[in-house]
Amino acid sequence: MSIVAIWKEKINDMKIYQFVAGCFLCLMGTAVLGQKTTIDQKNLPKAASTFISENFQNNKVQHAYKDIDDGRTEYDVHLANGIEIEFDQDGNWKEVDGNHTAIPTKFLSSNIVSYVSKNYPKASIVKAEKNTRKIEIELSNGIDLEFDLKGNFIRVD
């Protein structure tokens, strides 16, 4: 066997090892980066439990999940009536989604609730999403509104 043939064989073997190692690393990466596990409601952060009991007292928690992604922990809660709530790692609400049905509005700023009832009296709030800069509201008529964190209207989105 010539030296060239031996080198070609070794290169092919190395490619196979690299491919297998690459597949293994990809599988390990997805297992570590995206862990969503079912948890008991009592394992939610205290702030999340309080939020649920104060705003959704007539709704039972159907499923609760702890989601770890890129080192951030979030919690997803599904209520028996179809409402889904997302919390950050401290239990602060990030999103309340009624899945096209009205959501309670007690947790929203009175400015937001007043603005919606005055300007869209026939619509209900079906989704609220909060980030570090604004609150986005989705109405039952399909209109999306943006407010600052104090509840002051910014614009129709």
Cβ(44)–Cβ(77) under 8 Å? Answer: yes
Supply the pLDDT for residue 35.
86
Q: Around Cβ 98, how many Cβ atoms within 10 Å?
A: 20
Rounded to two decimals, what is the model's pTM?
0.78
- Tell me the pLDDT of the chain averaged across its residues: 87
Supply the pLDDT for residue 108.
98
Supply the pLDDT for residue 20.
45
- % of the chain surpassing 90 pLDDT: 73
The arithmetic mean of pLDDT across residues 9-28, rounded, is 54
Task: Name the fold adopted by 36-156.
Answer: Inhibitor of vertebrate lysozyme, Ivy (3.40.1420)
How does pLDDT run across 42-91, given as a tens digit for each residue? 999 999 999 999 999 888 999 999 999 888 999 999 999 999 999 999 99
Cβ(146)–Cβ(135) under 8 Å? Answer: yes
Q: So where are the chain's domains?
A: 1-35, 36-156
What's the farthest any 2 CA atoms get from each other in the chain?
87
Sequential DSSP letters for 71-118:
TEEEEEEEETTS-EEEE-TTS-EEEEE-SSS----TTS-HHHHHHHHH
Q: Can you read off the two tokens belonging to residue 1? A: 């066997």
The arithmetic mean of pLDDT across residues 113-140, rounded, is 98
Supply the pLDDT for residue 9.
64
Rounded distance between C-alpha atoms, residue 68 and residue 107, angstroms:
26
